[in-house]
Amino acid sequence: MTETPATFGSDSDLELHDGFQGLWLRTGVAEAFVALEPVFRILALRSPGGSSLLADSASEQCGLRLAFMEPEQTSESFRVGEQPARIIERAEARVRVRLARACGLRYEAAISLEPGRPVLRLDCRLVNVGTRYRRVACWSLLSFRRDGAILVPFGDASDAPSRFVRPSWTEWPQPGLAFGEKALLASLGGAMRGDFLKVGVITEPGWGAFLRSTEALVSHAPFDPAASYPEGGANVTFFESRERNPGWAECECVGPLRRLAPGEETRFSESLELITFPQPLSAEPDALRAAIDLARLPKV
């Protein structure tokens, strides 16, 4: 039977989860909680009744949040996403919401679960609702507890360079980072120089994965090699903070920079995929990447 979206004039049927008000999206293989108040977040993605790999409110940051980039991060970058949202359309496995405007920008987001697969899709529109031209990029940040690892691949071609960007405030070298020929691995929660660590990767595959044991949450956003990206060109970034106990870590995806006239918009799409993978013989970055790639192949 075809599912018909319902349009709601109010959010009176919201549920409470982890201190936020929102709603659950559900299929037979996955469920996700979309928070609308006090601010928009995707707080959980899990198998039905299971546990989520995303950080909960015990961490300084939790779930998935939206922000924006200009050519560099600014003091206003997070204000656009730290807004309440209202439902525009809703069905059992999908919802479309509009965030309150801030800084002359406004997000609209469609969130949906794929039928039969533990995959969540996030499709965003960032609209220039101000009166001046803006050069901006969409930015999403997924937060995790510091009890696993984050893996980001380099290029797929045999001669693809390993391209990464390190801001000046990230101390170097870092004992928790391991570089392979095909991937960068960041082990979380161990030895770390400084209170903050950030490394961006210019990656054609366009994904980053949080790993805990043999489970992973893989976030993917398409990469446009002809476009300009903020902060030195990195489209996937790893960030870790231990400023407050227990701290948190993030895997971040950013879209291309677009010049928007008043009323124009830029779009951004991301998928979040839950996978399990066989434990490789080695915990080296390339072996873990091979295991993730194999687990993500379509099942036939």
Sequence ranges of the domains in the chain: 15-296
**CA-CA distance, 295 to 68, in Å (whole number)?**
31
Strands 215-220 and 149-153: unpaired
Sole residue written with tokens 């595959």? 205
What does the block give as tokens for 295?
């687990």
pLDDT value of residue 2: 37
The rounded average pLDDT for each run of 10 residues, N- to C-terminus, in the chain (300 residues) is: 39 86 97 98 96 93 97 94 97 98 98 97 98 98 95 82 89 95 93 92 96 95 95 95 80 98 98 92 92 81
pLDDT value of residue 266: 98
Q: Residue 135, Cβ neighbours under 10 Å: how many?
A: 14
pLDDT value of residue 7: 39
pLDDT value of residue 245: 63
pLDDT value of residue 4: 37
292: enclosing H helix or E strand: helix 285-296
Contact (Cβ atoms closer than 8 angstroms) between residue 37 and residue 14: yes
Half-sphere exposure of 73 (CA within 13 A, CB side): 12
Closest by Cα among 22, 50, 52, 46 to 34: 22
Contact (Cβ atoms closer than 8 angstroms) between residue 112 and residue 198: no
Sole residue written with tokens 């170097």? 172
Q: Any idea which architecture 15-296 has in CATH?
A: Distorted Sandwich (2.70)
- Residue 23 one-letter amino acid: L
